[in-house]
Chains A and B, each alone.
Chain A
Amino acid sequence: MIDIRQKLDEIGPFVPGADDGLLVCRCEEVTKGEIRRAVHEGIFTIEEMRRYLRNGMGLCQGQTCSRLVKSIMAAELKEAPDYVEPASARAPMRPIEMEILGKDQGGKHE
């Protein structure tokens, strides 16, 4: 069980950093500062963070940034990197045109 308020008290307030402008998710242009700040708003999991800021939701689906996001979040939460669980990978593993995907397993478009 995680007591969100207690955890927020433990990690203290958001403190701006010199490298907050660093682009972490290049597809969706999410910065380190935005990710750090969101943790202090109660966003503690990668699943929530993706939905809140769109990091890892673009063309590469987090294949470039997800480990970076994980370590930034863990540092902000004052935890080891393993504390933050990785995001689920979902089909398709590479972006595919609807016309191509629609040919899979029959249908009149085949």
Chain B
Amino acid sequence: MNKTADVIIIGGGIVGCAAAYYLAKSGTKNVIVLESTKSIGHGGSCRNGGGVRQSGRDVRELPYAMYGIEHLWPTLSEELGVDVEYTQKGNLRLGKTEAHLKKLQTLADNAKKVGLGVEMVDAKEVQEICPYLSKEIIGASWCPTDGHANPLTTTLGYYKRSLELGVSYYTDAKVASLKKIRGKVRQVILIDGTVFEGEQVILAAGYESRAIARTVGVDLPMTRLIDEMFVTEMQPHMFDIMLGTAAADFYGHQAHHGSFVFGSECGYEEVTDMDDPSKLYTNSMTLSASCRAVMDYVPCLKDAKVVRSWCGWLDNAFDGVPFIGPCLDAEGLIVACGFTGHGFGTAPAVGLMLSQMVHGEKTVVDLSALAPNRFMPNK
């Protein structure tokens, strides 16, 4: 068993697998990825809605969200040899009240300032873009360059391709702690005592990153939040756009094979009571609430049958945007976590930039606003 590498990546989710792929592609093939569960992509990577969007994002995230959509997503299926089902047909964020439209207008104005093409459309234009939507919708924001992809095949595609390129993967390999050697983070110690050692360590383990980073004195202020989704049986092809709402009632799209995939909530997510978070029990209230939310905007789906629901934990960063970058207080450690439920669409760009950080290169966009040490006392 190979226990030393140029780079040790903690977390076999989409960010870890994408970082491994871009490292291997650029010639750094001596890379080890450690996944705590038995399945690659067990966490949020395979439990999300597949949004590949720019609209509605914090301006600090927009530059790399836009970079990925321009440079990485269009050719990803060919690169990975797996169909990631990338579909760039736009995102409608729907509003039913004047307050909704005001909120959407503010988001659109902010996005336009950093160069994103997003426009407000009226009720008639909404119906032209997607005739399946409720007539109660009075307007929406429209970002034609947004889209969606399949998070399951994307995550496993990065895994498969990086494995082919020589990356080593270990599953059921739960990390207990990090250890500094001569002042530099080098060792990664598993709960069974196995020690891995790398020149650099990338920490991309979602919420669990916080406890791991703590072992070398780094705090990543985030909490854990549950999110649920459901999928319908196959439906005839209706539309290719991504849907969201100003009130955040639900989001979703029709997948290539015909199922609709929607995410929604019941309102009690912040006080979820689950004795063992790894069990991932769904809340008995959420699925029915989700169906009501979707039918309020897409009434023609009322007869579509739901075949499955599931949930996952978000790594909810304190200020709503992720921690990406080297830790100044722990040399050798680069973190990428706290994606707050919208990390899937940006994962290719984040993976690429992590490989650039390892090589000491300038990242394709400036990430200083997301530095893990950005928190200062505010009182």
Contact = CB atoms under 8 A, between A and B. Distances in A.
A42 interface: yes
A1 to B, nearest CB: 5
Q: Which secondary structure dominates where chain B touches chain A?
A: mixed
A76 B305 CA distance: 35
Contacts of A51: 41, 46, 152-153, 155-156
The size bracket of the interface on B is: 35 or more
A92 B306 contact: yes
Given A43-B156, A92-B306, A95-B306, 18 more contacts: A1-B170, A1-B171, A2-B38, A2-B173, A4-B168, A5-B163, A5-B169, A44-B38, A44-B171, A45-B38, A51-B41, A90-B309, A91-B282, A97-B303, A99-B291, A105-B288, A105-B289, A107-B288
Interface in A95-110: 95-99, 101-105, 107-109
Given A51-B41, A91-B309, A109-B292, A2 B172 contact: yes
B190 A52 contact: no
Interface in B269-284: 280, 282, 284
Interface residues on A, range: 35 or more
B154 to A, nearest CB: 10
Nearest to B298: A98
The interface centre, meaning the residue of B40, B41, B172, B285 with most chain A CB atoms within 10 A of its CB, is B40
Contact of B39 (A48, A54, A109): A48
Chain B CB within 10 Å, residue with most, of A61, A85, A95: A95
Contact of B308 (A3, A4, A41, A61): A61
Interface string B139-174: 000000000000011011001100100001111110
Given A95-B233, A107-B289, A59 B168 contact: no
Contacts of B160: 41-43
A3 B170 contact: yes
Contacts of A101: 287-288, 291, 306
Nearest to A52: B156
Contact of A4 (B170, B257, B302): B170
B171 A2 contact: yes
Nearest to A50: B152
Interface in B159-195: 159-160, 163, 168-173, 190, 192, 194
A61 B307 contact: yes
Given A48-B41, A51-B156, A59 B233 contact: yes
Nearest to A6: B1
Contacts of A95: 233, 305-307
B241 interface: no
A95 to B, nearest CB: 4
B280 to A, nearest CB: 8
Interface majority SS (helix, strand, loop, mixed), chain A: loop
A42 B156 CA distance: 9
A68 B282 CA distance: 27
A88 to B, nearest CB: 8
Interface in A43-74: 43-45, 47-48, 51-52, 54, 57-59, 61
B42 interface: yes
Given A42-B159, A103-B288, A98 B38 contact: no
Nearest to B157: A52
A48 B152 CA distance: 8
B232 interface: yes
A91 B1 contact: no
A54 B261 CA distance: 14
A2 B35 CA distance: 10
A46 B175 CA distance: 23
A104 B288 contact: yes
A61 B133 CA distance: 29
B309 A4 contact: no
B238 interface: no
Contacts of B303: 97-99
A25 to B, nearest CB: 13
B243 to A, nearest CB: 15
B295 interface: yes
B311 to A, nearest CB: 9
